[in-house]
Amino acid sequence: MADQYVLKMNHISKRFGGTYALKDVSMKFEKGKVNVIMGENGAGKSTLMRILAGAITKDEGTIELDGKELNVTGPSDAIKAGISMIYQELNLVPYMSVAENVFVGRELGDKGFVNKRQQERVSNELLRNIGVEIDSSILIKDLTIAKQQMVEIAKSTLSDSKVLIMDEPTSSLTEPEVEQLFACIRGLVQKGVTIIYISHRMEEIFEIGDNITVLRDGTYVGQWPIEKLDTQTVIEHMVGRTITEMFPKEDVELGDVVLEVKDLCKKGQFENLNFKLRKGEILGFSGLVGAGRTEMANVLFGKERPDSGEIILNGKSISIKSPSDALDRHMGYVPEDRKQYGLNLAGSIKDNIAVTQWDSISKMGFVNKKEENELGAAMVEKLGIKIGSPNHPASSLSGGNQQKIVLAKWVSHDLDILILDEPTRGVDVGAKAEIHKIVVEFAKKGVGIILISSELPEVMGMSDRIIVMHEGKITGVVSREEATQPLIMSYAHGA
């Protein structure tokens, strides 16, 4: 009888400096199944998979594929063996077309000439196979993050892979797009492809997974069939403690209107937006990709200029021409793409935390290093950020801890309004609960919060009211009490 496990990783260890990222981890993966790996940020999930994909090398241990030992020294070894990986952070070239990205390094053509039309035809077919219609002649930079993610998925299906690793593949996708992806995964599984699926979204793993393996602090905790687990048990295995409240929304007494938007328009993005935000209120914004929520946030924070309409702050009509104008008016912004807009990845952790406070900790243009260090240390402790040293670059942190750094720079800032665009995207359940608590603390201080999220449980669990957008227009406003997923999705589809 053939071994049901197509892939085994035996006694894998990996150190970075003197710290173990993985310590004596052994795992096995069933053929033609969706093998889910879960764990908090920093648990070692991505490190283990990067070893399997050849992106980094292991210090100790062995890998077996189809019963034979596999020596993976680089990505080409993994690809030749039939192992492909979709990384959490997109790996696409912005100024190349969709088709060129799909076929990079394996171009179609003859005698040195690339057949672009054939590449576009095949790319369009790959995209249709996962339920997406995208013109493959379009440049990657002109696509939304969600559509770029779908291109990554289509790119991975081009190889005849035995094993496909997906590291947070749905982190930028809305629910309909997630369903499209799941249909694609089920099709691959039926063909005998082994899926290794890393996700922080609990509802996803119970829908798509066949088994779950949990890592904690770089060590193996256990593996179970999906039917033997429930959400609470998985969380307890992941964090080693009980998380009883994922959405710690408290009844905060709402104050006066801090922000009013009247007939706000931006051609091609949104039109005639009207809403009010009160002090201490968490105002959720839901909708599908392309609804105009992020574009609205960019206008409110001065990254873009509106074509018409009025923004009223604390009863006064204002013009926000730049992010510095927004900062001067006590507005904060946590952007959707933290790596491109929210962080200086090359900068130190403490520099990223202190960036909004440099005016208060500087004299004659020189930063007071002692105050900067104290501020950084205080925020690291307050937010439970796991770091080696505040002098390390922000790029050294896991996704969840990077997001906490983005939030940390606003905690000590005197804010009236905080705009959060996908604040827990790609963040594990433990860090997600901690971020939710931080958001509630802002609200308790009287900060008006705009919460943009593609995760319906989050926007429903955290918001006092929910505004739903469809193709640049507000199609519904729902109170916390009356909010249901079918109602919000109905509005999100323009019904």
Residue-wise pLDDT tens for the chain (495 aa)?
A: 456 899 999 999 998 877 788 999 999 999 999 999 998 767 889 899 999 999 999 999 999 999 999 999 999 899 889 898 988 777 889 999 999 999 988 888 877 788 999 999 999 998 888 778 899 999 999 997 778 878 887 887 787 788 999 988 887 777 787 887 888 899 889 989 999 999 878 888 999 999 999 998 899 999 999 999 988 788 788 877 554 456 766 778 899 999 999 999 999 999 999 999 999 999 999 998 789 999 999 999 999 999 999 999 999 999 999 999 999 999 999 887 655 555 666 677 666 666 655 555 566 666 666 766 666 666 666 666 666 666 767 676 766 677 777 777 777 778 999 999 998 876 777 778 888 888 999 999 999 999 999 888 889 889 999 999 999 999 999 999 999 888 888 898 886
The tally of CA atoms less than 13 A away on the side-chain side of residue 271 is: 3
CA distance 159 to 177: 22
Q: Are residues 276 and 169 in the same domain?
A: no
Q: Please choose, from the candidates 466, 479, 485, 463, the residue with its C-alpha nearest in 3D space to the C-alpha of residue 249.
A: 463
User: What is residue 260's predicted lDDT score, i.e. its pLDDT?
Assistant: 98
Using CA atoms, how far residue 158 sits from 79, 89, 96, 121, 129, in Å, is 11, 19, 18, 13, 11
User: What is residue 448's predicted lDDT score, i.e. its pLDDT?
Assistant: 97
Residue whose pair of structure tokens reads 């999220």 in the numeric block: 453
The residues pairing with 85 across neighbouring beta strands, listed in sequence order, are 165
CA distance 73 to 215: 24
Final residue belonging to a domain, choices 198, 218, 240? 240
Final residue belonging to a domain, choices 191, 214, 240? 240
Q: Which amino acid is at 424?
A: T
CB within 8 Å of 110: residues ≥ 6 apart: none
| CATH code of the domain covering residue 173 | 3.40.50.300
Q: Are residues 274 and 392 in the same domain?
A: yes
How many domains, in total, are found in the chain? 2
Residue whose pair of structure tokens reads 């900790």 in the numeric block: 361
Q: Are residues 306 and 443 in the same domain?
A: yes
Residue whose pair of structure tokens reads 């035809």 in the numeric block: 121
Q: Are residues 10 and 51 in the same domain?
A: yes
Distance between first and last Cα of the chain:
53
Q: Are residues 27 and 118 in the same domain?
A: yes
Final residue belonging to a domain, choices 185, 206, 240? 240
Q: Are residues 211 and 171 in the same domain?
A: yes
Q: Please choose, from the candidates 220, 278, 196, 194, the residue with its C-alpha nearest in 3D space to the C-alpha of residue 3.
A: 194
Q: Are residues 308 and 230 in the same domain?
A: no
User: What is residue 97's predicted lDDT score, i.e. its pLDDT?
Assistant: 94
CA distance 201 to 38: 10
Q: Are residues 266 and 222 in the same domain?
A: no
The residues pairing with 296 across neighbouring beta strands, listed in sequence order, are none
User: What is residue 91's predicted lDDT score, i.e. its pLDDT?
Assistant: 80
Q: Are residues 314 and 433 in the same domain?
A: yes
CB within 8 Å of 54: residues ≥ 6 apart: 72, 73, 74, 75, 76, 77, 78, 79, 83
User: What is residue 294's predicted lDDT score, i.e. its pLDDT?
Assistant: 93
CA distance 453 to 437: 16
The residues pairing with 198 across neighbouring beta strands, listed in sequence order, are 37, 167
DSSP 492: H
Q: Please choose, from the candidates 281, 288, 269, 235, the residue with its C-alpha nearest in 3D space to the C-alpha of residue 488.
A: 288
Q: Are residues 423 and 311 in the same domain?
A: yes
Q: Are residues 236 and 378 in the same domain?
A: no
Range(s) of the domain holding residue 139: 5-240
Q: Which residues of 148-165 are buried (b: 16+ CB within 10 A; e: fewer)?
A: bbbbbbbbbbeeebbbbb
Q: Are residues 330 and 206 in the same domain?
A: no
Q: Please choose, from the candidates 27, 1, 8, 26, the residue with its C-alpha nearest in 3D space to the C-alpha of residue 67.
A: 8
